[in-house]
Amino acid sequence: MCGIIGYCGLSQAAPVLVKGLRRLEYRGYDSYGIAVSNRDIAVSKRQGKVSEGERDARSIRGKIGIGHTRWATHGVPNDRNAHPHTDCRGDIAIVHNGIIENYAALKRDLLERGHTFRSDTDSEVISHLIEEHYTGDLMKAVEDALPLLEGSYAILAIARGEKRIVAARQSSPLVIGMGDQEVFAASDMTPILEYTERAVFLEDGDIASLDPRGVVIRNSGRVVVRPTELIDWSFDDVKKGGFRHYMEKEIYEQPEVFSNTLRTLKREEVPKWLRKVKRISIVSCGTSFHSGLLFKYLLEEICRIPARLEFASEFKYFPPPLSELVVGITQSGETADTIAAIKVAKSYNCPTLAVTNVLGSSITRIADHTFYTQAGPEISVAATKSFIAQLAVLMHIVDELSGGTLTESLERANRAIEETLLLDMERAVACCQDAAHIFFVGRGPLYPVALEGALKMKEISYIHAEGYAAGEIKHGPFALLSEETPVIALCTPGPTYNVMISNIREMKARGTPMIILGEDGDWDLEEIADVFISLPSHDLVTRILAATVALQLLAYHTAEALGRDIDKPRNLAKSVTVE
């Protein structure tokens, strides 16, 4: 969702801001803008893609500026509602991520006091409130204005005649990049990585003054010092490197990502208290929900630890009675619902554990302990390598809690992912690309894989796809089966193999084209299948991983055949930072 970038240094700000906005595009947006301070503050903003108006924006001169990609929440996507927003005189400009919950009351009061509003956004109240408190010191004005706001925000503000940016954070991510006589601010490290690896993560309540000489941070009226952290992601990680799409690149990075994550985890101690847990609750959203479901299966099946999985968005409002460990799984570490759910767990005094990909992200500051996935920056909106990296962490935990039952399989896993990447999806794509609906079915641990396969397919191809536990398909979806509705069935050896074959035969009898993912040499399945995809798997771990990767490839190539905007699918955001 919305992205923020700020620059204050010795170079021209506009080109840095525009490039930063391009790097933030992956978060999802519908409009964008920049404000640059020279003698006056110049603003360039519009609805649409950065590439469409970037020449105008780049030409603005000045060495201090702020920029924003907007994902509409209050007010439709149009030029007026794009950020930055200014005060009445155009002397102060702000960009804002988050939601100002009491904006309607604030706006009414500001209008009564004679302020002129130019947009329908909640964010614009911020520039007018700062204006009311401004007496020549932007930092002080921001400090005075912010207590009036309720909700979440990451804000950057500039004022005419002041050679600095003022930044503030409350429940929305904001990182400061420390360069050489230049300083950056952004929603995440991706737009900053090419300039510096030194980062300072702001905490809730922090207000910072940024200028080329350095950064001063205050919280509750006092100066505070936040550590400077070294980010080991490289700029190359955020380039496409010869692949057609980031998603393709990220799919092919998975063998390395899986083994890097495991290698890093092996160097860490599993906390002692984790070894003693009796029950676990898991909260997450989207793709991370599916890794959570797999975790639940593995914990219960292998460790015999009862586990409950909840959508973070439900958990926050309807928390179950609980006293156990609560695990939050989130690639970004910023998903508002997951953060809120972990806060609820803390309010119950439950121990909390985060699994995330982003160093210094919000969840790492709240949870008692964090396990990091080593996926590197994931740019494509559809999660692939971060999911595989989450599985590496979660399978590692299961392995540790079960006395090493998965160790050998985990060592072989890498190879299985590599071999899966060689699979040919052409016939399966031909079967899917004209379909209006596709069902993905699996049982046991392959049910979450079916859900994730369906999610990938709908996210990037826009074909309606649904994942089902195969046994449930008879309770309704059967009515929709026809020659035009392909079913993708995951059927590998195990306790449900025979019943799965019966399900497949029943579906086949309705004329349904069957794409079956099974194991090499399974002649029975090959005979039933319209398209058979042979997975290079031989145990539970490799079955889960190979089936996941195969379905990622199927979704990717189907979307490619349909000419979709694969890395930035319509209406979707990489990181959902509002509830």
- Which residues contact ligand G6P (rule: CB under 6 A)? 285-288, 330-332, 335, 338, 381-383, 572-576
Residue 546 beta carbon to ligand G6P: minimum distance, rounded to whole angstroms: 21
- How wide is the angle at C-alpha 516 spanned by C-alphas 513 and 521, nearest 5°? 135
**Residue nearest to ligand G6P according to CB distances in the complex:** 286
Residue 570 beta carbon to ligand G6P: minimum distance, rounded to whole angstroms: 12
Smaller CB distance to ligand G6P: residue 70 or 568?
568
Residue 574 beta carbon to ligand G6P: minimum distance, rounded to whole angstroms: 5
What would the 3-class secondary structure string for 507-561 be?
HHCCCCCEEEEEECCCHHHHHHCCEEEEECCCCHHHHHHHHHHHHHHHHHHHHHH
Residue 455 beta carbon to ligand G6P: minimum distance, rounded to whole angstroms: 8
Residue 192 beta carbon to ligand G6P: minimum distance, rounded to whole angstroms: 19
| Interacting residues of 390 by C-beta distance below 8 A, sequence separation 6+ | 288, 291, 329, 331, 355, 373
Smaller CB distance to ligand G6P: residue 357 or 558?
357
| Chain centroid to CA 244 | 21
Smaller CB distance to ligand G6P: residue 9 or 286?
286
Number of residues that make up the chain: 579
Query: Please, how many CA atoms are within 13 Å of residue 218, restricted to the half-sphere of its CB?
Result: 12
Query: Please, how many CA atoms are within 13 Å of residue 391, restricted to the half-sphere of its CB?
Result: 36
Smaller CB distance to ligand G6P: residue 162 or 459?
459
Distance between CA atoms of residues 330 and 362, nearest Å: 10
Distance between CA atoms of residues 217 and 242, nearest Å: 41
Q: Look up residue 219 and give its two tokens.
A: 């919280």
Distance between CA atoms of residues 304 and 300, nearest Å: 4
Tell me if residue 107 falls in helix, strand or coil: helix
Comparing CA positions, the residue from 491, 537, 493 lying closest to residue 514 is 491
Residue 371 beta carbon to ligand G6P: minimum distance, rounded to whole angstroms: 14
Tell me if residue 387 falls in helix, strand or coil: helix
Are 1 and 575 in contact by the 8 Å Cβ rule? The answer is: yes
Smaller CB distance to ligand G6P: residue 335 or 374?
335
Active-site amino acid positions: 2, 574
Smaller CB distance to ligand G6P: residue 121 or 330?
330
